Amino acid sequence: MKGKGLFLMIFVALLAAAVTSFSMHGESRISLRYYLSNDDAVKEDLKETIRLFNKLLATFYDTGGDTTNLNEFPAANLVKRRIFQDIENWKKGNNWFIHDLHKTEFLRMRTLSPQRAVVETRELWHMWVRDVETGNKSGYKVNPIKVRYYLGMQRGRWTVLEYEVYGIDDDFPEVVTKWR
Closest CA to 53 of 152, 169, 177: 152
Query: How many Cβ atoms from other residues are within 10 Å of residue 151's Cβ?
Result: 29
| Angle at 13 (CA atoms; ends 12, 18), nearest 5 degrees | 95
Closest CA to 152 of 80, 15, 49, 18: 49
96: Cβ contacts below 8 Å, ≥ 6 apart: 61, 62, 63, 64, 87, 90, 129, 130, 132
Per-residue pLDDT of 84-98, as tens digits, reads 999 999 999 999 999
Q: What does the pLDDT read at residue 8?
A: 74
Query: How many Cβ atoms from other residues are within 10 Å of residue 57's Cβ?
Result: 20
Low-confidence winner among 8-12, 19-23, 98-102, 160-164 (lowest mean pLDDT): 19-23
Query: What integer best gives the mean pLDDT of the chain?
Result: 86
Q: What does the pLDDT read at residue 29?
A: 47
Strands, DSSP E only, in the chain?
A: 95-113, 116-131, 137-154, 157-167
Residue 20: is it exposed, middle or buried by C-beta count within 10 angstroms (0-12/13-18/19+)?
exposed
Query: How many Cβ atoms from other residues are within 10 Å of residue 128's Cβ?
Result: 15
32/168: higher pLDDT: 168
Does position 103 have pLDDT exceeding 80, yes or no?
yes
**65 DSSP 8-state letter:** S
Q: What does the pLDDT read at residue 37?
A: 53
Q: List the end-to-end C-alpha distance of the chain, in Å, as a whole number.
A: 50
Per-residue pLDDT of 133-142, as tens digits, reads 998 999 999 9
79/35: higher pLDDT: 79
Does position 33 have pLDDT exceeding 60, yes or no?
no
Per-residue pLDDT of 3-12, as tens digits, reads 677 777 777 7
- Determine the distance from the C-alpha atom of residue 160 to the mean position of all C-alpha atoms in its chain, rounded to a whole number: 3
* CATH match of 38-179 with 3.10.450.240: yes
Does position 102 have pLDDT exceeding 80, yes or no?
yes
Does position 24 have pLDDT exceeding 60, yes or no?
no
18: Cβ contacts below 8 Å, ≥ 6 apart: none
Please state the rounded mean pLDDT for residues 126-153.
Answer: 94
- Determine the distance from the C-alpha atom of residue 71 to the mean position of all C-alpha atoms in its chain, rounded to a whole number: 13
**75 DSSP 8-state letter:** B
